[in-house]
Amino acid sequence: MNSSSALKIAHIDTGLSLRGGQRQMLMLAQGLRERGHDQVIVCIEGTPLEEQARREGFRVFVLPTHDPWHAFGIQLWRVQLKAWAPHILHAHDGRGQTVAWLASLGFPVQRVASRRVTFFPSDRWTYKLKYAYTCHAVIAVSENIRELSVQAGVPRERISVIPDGIEIPAELPGATERLRLRTSWQCGDDNFVVGLLGASTAEKGQDTALAAMALLSERFPEARMVLAGDEAANTPIKPPADSDSKGARILRLGAIEGPANFFPGLDLFIMPSRAEGLGSSALWAMSYGLPVIATRVGGLPEIVMENETGWLIPPNSAQALAEAILLASRDRAKLIEYGTRGRKQAEGFSAAIMVSRTEALYRSLAKDLHP
């Protein structure tokens, strides 16, 4: 296969929601489509991923919802694979890798599995069997995940580190956009606005963020926190009765329509995660010129440079987070300096770079297939 020929690629994700991993898959598919590759997205019927993939114009194959272990869906997909003869099956979650393997047994296809979760497998033998023998390559989104996979028994040479990608804004938003967002949040120029973007799951540490704000209620009444993610939109959280803060100090936005409707209104971004494969939300914030406070877990220390683009703190510590927010707020010049460095750092994690690296891996795997 020459370096200019189009590849046939099937992406599979069995997630039931539309979160970071699913959005990364769609971003990858968009970039590969621009390069002329033929693709299909395989997902569970009726999920937000199916809806979004169809909206973006991708060909979609759905696995039936009520299908224990996807047995029927695997048989249906196997028929499709035999007729289409793809070069690459890329599973973007663990269950998807199992489905891809079973559906393509005996077919001349190369299987790729993405790993973006940081938990160490409880059953190392099953994990090793799955990622050392049912796929031809593993993509880890950080060095941290590669090392965890190696410790679990996956051969190092089978793992490629390809970090998640982000769309870098061409230029930083101006004062007008900042004012528009802060006005909609009922925040003024005298407020110090801290943002957090992510699902309200335990590993994202929203409880730590809320506890930190409670600690700051008297010491830093000008502080405001805006939470974006999958919670109900525009839900204010009132301060304690004994607080001298006026109005709500914390606002839940719910899902946002793109990063441009969130990051330009912030002074600081926080990521108090308990576990994080890489931390693409932090990269997004950095691309908008924001300094970041992040926990020293998973892949976050690989992107947030301590005392250069932000601050690293221990997980599960509301006190450490509160102190870091207070420290950041006291030096506006340092906020700008860290934000400038962060934007430069984020440029190394662009979507285009992620797509190029993944495409190169696909080609290296597919070069001996379907000559």
Average pLDDT (181-186) is: 95
Q: Are residues 186 and 98 in the same domain?
A: no
% pLDDT > 70, the chain: 92
Q: Are residues 71 and 144 in the same domain?
A: yes
68 burial type by CB count under 10 A (0-12 exposed, 13-18 middle, 19+ buried)? exposed
Q: Are residues 341 and 354 in the same domain?
A: no
**Does any domain span residue 137?**
yes
Dist. CA 96–CA 18, nearest whole Å: 15
Q: Are residues 187 and 125 in the same domain?
A: no
Confidence check: pLDDT of 74 > 70: yes
Predicted local confidence at residue 161, as pLDDT: 98
Predicted local confidence at residue 240, as pLDDT: 37
Predicted local confidence at residue 371, as pLDDT: 53
Q: Are residues 185 and 138 in the same domain?
A: no
Q: Measuring CA to CA, which residue among 358, 363, 366 is closest to residue 163?
A: 358
SS (H, E, C) the chain: CCCCCCCEEEEECCCCCCCHHHHHHHHHHHHHHHCCCEEEEEEECCCHHHHHHHHCCCCEEEECCCCHHHHHHHHHHHHHHHHHCCCEEEECCHHHHHHHHHHHCCCCCEEEEEECCCCCCCCHHHHHHHHHHCCCEEEECCHHHHHHHHHCCCCHHHEEECCCCECCCCCCCCHHHHHHHHHHCCCCCCCEEEEEECCCCHHHCHHHHHHHHHHCCCCCCCEEEEEECCCCCCEEECCCCCCCCCCCCEEEEECCCCHHHCHHHCCEEEECCCCCCCCHHHHHHHHCCCCEEEECCCCHHHCCCECCCEEEECCCCHHHHHHHHHHHHCCHHHHHHHHHHHHHHHHHHEHHHHHHHHHHHHHHHHCCCCC
Predicted local confidence at residue 247, as pLDDT: 40
**Does any domain span residue 170?**
no
**Does any domain span residue 371?**
no
Dist. CA 153–CA 174, nearest whole Å: 49
- pLDDT per residue over 27-46, tens digit each? 999 999 999 999 999 999 99
Dist. CA 255–CA 220, nearest whole Å: 28
Predicted local confidence at residue 141, as pLDDT: 97
Q: Are residues 185 and 157 in the same domain?
A: no
Q: Do 7 and 369 meet the contact criterion of CB atoms below 8 Å apart?
A: no
- In single-letter form, the type of residue at position 356 comes to S
Predicted local confidence at residue 239, as pLDDT: 39
Query: In this structure, what CATH number is given to the domain that contains residue 30?
Result: 3.40.50.2000
Query: Domains in the chain: how many in total?
Result: 2
Beta bridge mates, 236: 251
Residue 129's contacts (CB-CB under 8 Å, 6 or more residues apart) are none
Average pLDDT (335-364) is: 97
- pLDDT per residue over 270-294, tens digit each? 999 999 999 999 999 999 999 999 9
Predicted local confidence at residue 242, as pLDDT: 36
Q: Are residues 99 and 211 in the same domain?
A: no
Q: Are residues 40 and 66 in the same domain?
A: yes
pTM (2 d.p.): 0.90
Q: Do 312 and 304 meet the contact criterion of CB atoms below 8 Å apart?
A: yes
Q: Measuring CA to CA, which residue among 267, 289, 175 is closest to residue 223?
A: 267
% pLDDT > 90, the chain: 80
What average pLDDT is seen over the chain? 91
- Domain hosting 87: range is 8-165+350-366
Could you give the dihedral angle defined by the CA atoms of residues 213, 216, 222 and 223, in that order, rounded to the nearest 10 degrees? -30
Does 256 or 139 have the greater pLDDT score?
139
- pLDDT per residue over 86-106, tens digit each? 999 999 999 999 999 999 999
Confidence check: pLDDT of 115 > 70: yes
Q: Measuring CA to CA, which residue among 304, 301, 296, 300 is closest to residue 339?
A: 304
- pLDDT per residue over 337-349, tens digit each? 999 999 999 999 9
Q: Are residues 182 and 132 in the same domain?
A: no
Q: Are residues 328 and 355 in the same domain?
A: no
Does 368 or 21 have the greater pLDDT score?
21
Predicted local confidence at residue 244, as pLDDT: 37
Q: Are residues 125 and 189 in the same domain?
A: no
- pLDDT per residue over 198-247, tens digit each? 888 889 999 999 999 999 999 999 999 999 986 544 444 443 333 333 34
Predicted local confidence at residue 43, as pLDDT: 98
- pLDDT per residue over 290-345, tens digit each? 999 999 999 999 999 999 999 999 999 999 999 999 999 999 999 999 999 999 99
Q: Are residues 66 and 196 in the same domain?
A: no
Confidence check: pLDDT of 266 > 50: yes
Average pLDDT (51-64) is: 98
Predicted local confidence at residue 229, as pLDDT: 83
Distance from chain centroid for Cα 311: 20
Confidence check: pLDDT of 64 > 90: yes
